[in-house]
């Protein structure tokens, strides 16, 4: 019984002895990247093929479709594109080939540079300036590194 008491007392002293390292002062400094890229994307949609009842409605739908296509292209450039493929071969003959591509991501801070119609196509140009993205993220998730650590005894 005495041995158990000494073990508990000794482990308690070891734990309390290590707790002095928990008291410390850490100074952080902000890190700013050296350069910020600007990425552009182009989206296009045919006006006459839209499912609208009149020309104005088809134009508005083409505007929306071209903007979504430009955002998809931006997401593809920022996050990459996922390719899934499935091939079936039987007796050395290709029976079934399936190829799927998908993009998933969140784009913040993009702006429409130009939006215009050319013949029967509506075009939207987007721009993603990473300097603006960085400034936005600094307000919500500041990027910091440790400048110094000082232990308080």
Nearby residues of 114 by Cβ (< 8 Å), 6 or more positions away: 123, 124, 125
Closest C-alpha among 63, 71, 143, 68 to residue 105: 71
Contacts of 153 (CB under 8 A, 6+ apart): 20, 23
**Structural tokens at position 64:** 């929306």
- Give me 86's structure tokens: 């499935």
Residue 15 has pLDDT above 60, yes or no: no
User: pLDDT tens across 69-128, in order?
Assistant: 999 999 999 999 999 999 898 888 888 888 899 999 888 889 999 999 999 999 999 999
Global pTM? 0.65
How far apart, in whole angstroms, are the C-alpha atoms of residue 153 and residue 5?
29
Q: Which residues is 82 bridged to in the sheet?
A: 102
More confident position, 143 or 44:
44
Query: Residue 105 and residue 128: Cα distance in Å, rounded?
Result: 14
Contact 9, 1 (CB under 8 A): no
Indicate the helix (H) or strand (E) that contains 102: strand 93-102
Q: Where are the domains of the chain?
A: 2-151
Helices (H), 19-150: 55-79, 130-140
């Amino acid at each position: 019984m005495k041995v158990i008491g000494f073990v508990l007392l000794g482990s308690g002293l070891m734990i309390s002895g290590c707790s002095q390292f928990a008291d410390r002062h850490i100074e952080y400094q902000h890190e700013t990247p050296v350069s910020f890229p600007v990425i552009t994307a182009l989206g296009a949609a045919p006006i006459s093929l839209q499912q609208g009842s009149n020309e104005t409605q088809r134009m508005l739908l083409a505007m929306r479709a071209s903007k979504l296509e430009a955002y998809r292209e931006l997401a593809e450039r920022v996050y990459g594109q996922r390719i899934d493929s499935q091939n079936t071969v039987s007796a050395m003959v290709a029976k079934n080939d399936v190829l799927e591509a998908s993009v998933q991501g969140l784009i913040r801070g993009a702006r429409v540079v130009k939006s215009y119609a050319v013949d029967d196509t509506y075009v939207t140009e987007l721009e993603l300036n990473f300097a603006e993205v960085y400034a936005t993220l600094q307000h919500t998730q500041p990027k910091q590194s440790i400048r110094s650590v000082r232990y308080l005894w």
